[in-house]
Chain A
C-alpha cells in the first residue's frame, strides 16, 4: 500500500461536541480530508449543560474563534433567544457578550454547518483505541474493530472518558444523561503512561416550564440593542425572550442541610475536583452559611421547548430531596422535575503533557482538545478545538502551524495556562487571566486574529473580504480622527472638556478621555456620524486605552526581541554557569538557534533562559571590550 493510499483521512476528530465540531471544521478549512467520528450523529452540537453561550472571558473566546472563521459564534447567533452584554456599565475591555441559546436550534444549525463542509465526513461509531505505528498515532479503532487510518487524530471526548454520573447514592456510568461513556478509550489512555486525573462537574435538575408560576418572579429582558457574537451576523435570527429570577430561602437551605449526608459529594462518593467558581447548591450552603438566600436564574432551553434550566442549583442529592428543595422555592411550588440534577466525574489528561499546538508530546500525531484537557465550558472547548484541528491539519499537510500568544488573544492565554500550569480544578476563562486585557477586547478580536487566519488559509469567504473592507475603513477613520482638530466653538458646542494648556487636541485624543464618547465628536462634527456604529464603538474603545496599550505593546516588542535573541552556534554550554546537567544535555542535543527555540524545549525553565541570556550577553560584551 502506498503512503497516500494507507490513509483514508488526513485528520480524524473523535467527538462531536463543541471542541470536536470546531476541530473538524478548522482542519477541513485548511484543506485536510477530515472525518468526525462520534457515537451519535444526532447529538452533534449538543449543549449538555446550561443553555447559554458567552459571558465574561468566554464571550471573548467566542469572538476570537469567530475571528479565526470558526463556527461557535455564528451558530450561536442563529440560536440566540436572549442577548445580554455583561458589564455594560464598565469599560469596553471587560464587557462580555452572552446569550441564552435555544438548544434545538443550535444543534440543528451546527449539524447543518458540519454537513455543508465539503472536506468533512461524519462517521457514526464509538472510538475504542488508536492505531499506533512507527511510534506515531496513525488513526483509530472503532468498537467493532474496524480501522480508520489518518495522519493525525484529535481527541475531544468531553466528559465521556470514564464518565460516572452521581445522583445521591446512585452511580451510573455515562458520558452525559442517557449516553454511554467511552470506557474503552479511557482504558487505552490510562495505558499510555500519560498523567491522568479526575475532575467533577454538575448540573441542576431540569424543570417543566409549564409548571412554573412566573407571576411573582422578577423578569430579566433581553438587551434592546443586541451585541452579536459573530462579525458576520447582521440581524437577530430568533425571537427574544426574558429569563426570570427566583431565590432559595431558609426552608430550602434547611432541607438541603438535613440531607447533606445523602449528597454524593458530601457522602464522599466523588474523588474528582470540582470548580470553585461554579459550586453546587450543597457547597453554597455549607461554605456560605451566613447567606440565607441564593439567586437562581430560570433559563428556558428553547422557544419550542418547555424545559427550564435553573442556573445556580446544581446538585448531587437524591431525586426525592431534589424534588423537595426545588418545591420550597418561590414560583416552583408545583414544579415538575423533568430530569434530576447530577454530578459527573470524568478522566482528564494533565494538559502539561501537551505542546503549544495541543499535541501530545509523548504520542506524535495525537492532539487533545476540550474537557479532556481539564477545562470546562463550551467556549473554552471550541477555542481548543480550533487550535488542535488547525494544527493537526498543519502537521498532516505540512503547513504552517497556528500559534496564538498571550498577547494575541484569550485563546493564547488559555493554551499557555493549560500547557504550562496544568489544571488543578476545571479551568474556566476569566478576563483577569489575561495580562493584556485592555488590548484583548471583544470588539477588536478580528483585528488581532483574522489577518493570521487569512495567511494560514484558515479564513474563507465571505469573512476574508468583509474583514479587509472593515479593516481598511477602520484605519481610515483612525487616521481621520488623529488628524482632526476642533475649533474652540466646536469644543464648547459639543460639551467637550476644554484644554487647559491651550493646545488643540485631536478628535482621537478627546476620545481617550474618560466620559467622552463618540457621540460627542458627532456633535462637534456631524459628518462623523456617517461611520458604521461598529467602527465607532471600536475606535472609541481603542482610544480609551491607548495610553496603556501603547505601553504594553512596547513591553511585548521587547519581550519578543528577547525571545528572538540569537544564541551563538558555537555556544559552549559547559561554560554556562549554574546550568543543571539535565538542561545542559537537552540544550546540547537540540542546539536551539534562538532563546524562543530554547524555551520550546521540554523542561527548559525561565530561570535556565535567564542564565543563557546573561551568559551570552556577558561573553559578547567581554569580547567587545577585549
Chain B
C-alpha cells in the first residue's frame, strides 16, 4: 500500500453529546496516538487514556482510544479513533492539536470512504450501500442498504461476472486454440444454458428493482380527488397523528405538498395534490391538474378521496387504488362496492383503519423476503444494457468472434458496477454525498 498523507475528522455528529468520535487515518496516525496517549495501545482493544496536548502537556480529555494498524481498518491505512466527551471545546482542542501536527490535515468530504475504496477495502456497490445506510430513515432502508454494505450484492454481481468470464473463456478457446485437440469447434452449445440462466437472473432482479427503489426512496402514495374533498385536512391529520413525520416540504410545484412518513418500518412519500375537476376555467388550474395526473401515473398507491356529501368524482383509477369517503361525520355513509373506507379528517373517525390499510399495502409494495439487488438508476441501467448484450450474444447466427465481443461488453459492464474500471466520474458523485468523517 502506498504511503499517504494523514487526515482527521469528527466522525460523530456535531453538537453537545455524551461522546464524540474523532478519527485519524494515514501513516502518521500511529505517531499521533503515541504522542497524545504517551504509549501505543494494543491493536483493536478499547483503552482509556489521558490525551495530553503536545505543546505543554496539558490534559485535553480522558478518552477511549482505539488503534487499528493497516491494513485491518476501515480505510486500509493506519487508523486511530479517539472517543472523547462530546463537547465543542474538547473536540475543537483535539482537532487543533492534530492540525498543528506535521502532515495531518482535515479530511475532505467522503475522504475516508474514498481511501477505503482506493485501498480495495470496499467496492463501489458497498460504498453506495454505505451512503444508503447513512441516509436511511426506516428499518427496511437499513436492511436493504446493509445487504449492499455487507457485500452480498457485490457477491451476486461477482458471481454473474465469474460465469460470464467462464463462458467467454470457452468461446475464446474455440477461437485461439481451434487447432488444438479437445477444444470444441463451437462453444455456443456449451454456453447456451449459462446465458439463459444469467438472462433469467438479471430479468428477475430488474423486475425486483422497482421494489428496491420503493424501499430506498419511499413508497409513493398520492392523495387525489375533487377540490374540497378534504385531502389537505386528511393529510394534515395523518401527519399530525400516530405517524412519525420525517420531513415536511413544499412539493416541486405549488400544487403538491409532500410529507415523508415511516409506516411500519417502510418509508412513504405521501403527496397531496391539486383537486381535479372537469370543467375548470383557468389555465393555471389546468396546469395543476396536469401535474396531478402525472403524479398519479407515477404513484405506487393512490388514495382517491371524495367528500361523503358530494358525488363520487369521475376519475380514472386502477383497481389498486384505495377509495376513501371523507367527511363521514357530515353524511351517513357505509363502505361498499364503491368505497373501501370512510373517515373523518375532522373527528379522526376511521383514521386508524385507514393508516392500517395504507400500511398493509405499503408493506406489500416494498417488502420482500430478499432485499433488492438493484436499487439505483445506475445499477438498473447497467444491468439492462448487460441483458441486451447477452440477448445479442445468444443469437446463433452471429459469428463467434462477435459473440465474444458481446460477452466482453457484458463483462465490462458488471465490472463497472462494482467499480473495477471507469470509476472516476462516479466517484465524485458518490463522495460528494458523504459528509466529512463518515
Mark A residues whose CB is within 8 Å of B.
Answer: 55-57, 86-87, 89-91, 93-94, 277, 288, 291, 294-295, 430-432, 435, 437-438, 514-515, 544-545, 548, 577-583, 607, 610-611, 613-614, 617-618
Contacts and interface: CB of A to CB of B under 8 A. Distances in A.
B423 interface: yes
Contacts of A548: 402, 405
Given A295-B181, A432-B176, A613 B424 contact: yes
Contacts of A610: 423-424, 427
B428 A87 contact: no
Contacts of B424: 610-611, 613-614
Contact of B5 (A90, A545, A581): A581
Given A435-B408, A613-B424, A86 B2 contact: no
A123 B302 CA distance: 91
A90 B111 contact: no
Contacts of B423: 610
A99 to B, nearest CB: 14
B402 A56 contact: no
Given A87-B175, A432-B176, A618-B428, A578 B398 contact: no
Given A291-B182, A578-B4, A578-B111, A432 B175 contact: yes
A194 to B, nearest CB: 23
B178 A87 contact: yes
B194 interface: no
Contact of A581 (B3, B178, B182, B401): B3
Contacts, number: 85
Interface in B159-209: 172, 175-179, 181-182, 185
Given A86-B178, A432-B172, A613-B424, A438 B2 contact: no
Given A56-B175, A291-B182, A548-B405, A607 B118 contact: yes
A525 B115 CA distance: 64
Given A89-B185, A435-B408, A583-B2, 18 more contacts: A55-B179, A56-B178, A87-B178, A90-B399, A90-B401, A94-B175, A94-B400, A295-B181, A430-B172, A514-B397, A577-B108, A578-B114, A579-B5, A580-B2, A580-B4, A581-B3, A582-B2, A614-B428
A621 to B, nearest CB: 10
Given A87-B175, A91-B402, A431-B176, A577 B181 contact: no
Question: Range of interface residues on chain B?
Answer: 20 to 34
Nearest to A290: B182
Nearest to A277: B177
B404 interface: yes
Contacts of B5: 579, 581
Contacts of B111: 577-578
14 contacts: A56-B177, A89-B185, A90-B400, A90-B401, A91-B402, A94-B401, A437-B405, A514-B398, A545-B402, A548-B402, A548-B405, A578-B114, A580-B4, A610-B423
Interface string B103-138: 000001001001100100000000000000000000
B320 to A, nearest CB: 39
A432 B404 contact: yes
Interface in B53-92: none
Interface string B10-52: 0000000000000000000000000000000000000000000
| Most chain A CB inside 10 Å of its own CB: which residue of B181, B399, B401 | B401
